[in-house]
Amino acid sequence: MTTKFSQKKPRYDERPDHERIVITGMGAITPLGLDVESTWQRLINGESGIKAISHFDATDYRAQIAGTVDGFDIGLY
């Protein structure tokens, strides 16, 4: 019996040409920026969004670094 999870999907280059994909917009909220432009610019500049955790005391945690999103205001979304 074949379930929908075990069915093999066609590779990208095996898709019929009539299956077109349209990108209508992009958005990004990342440790590198709050929009696509600033995130992309910092990526191509080789910057990392990973840094020492500063939003709370992480002394008792094994991880001391994280990719946090600074300046994000949920009220704007």
Q: 12 pLDDT exceeds 70?
A: no
At residue 20, the pLDDT reads: 79
Average pLDDT across the chain, whole number:
87
Which pLDDT tens digit goes with each residue over 19-55?
Answer: 778 889 999 999 999 999 999 999 999 999 999 999 9
Sign of the dihedral defined by the CA atoms of residues 39, 45, 49, 55, in that order? negative
Instruction: Report the alpha-carbon distance of residue 38 to residue 30 in Å, rounded.
Output: 10
Top pLDDT among 5 and 70 is at 70
- Using CA atoms, how far residue 2 sits from 5, 7, 62, 71, 72, in Å, is 8, 7, 43, 48, 45
Nearest to 53 by CA among 61, 45, 44, 42: 61
Domain boundaries, the chain: 1-68
Give the global pTM: 0.63
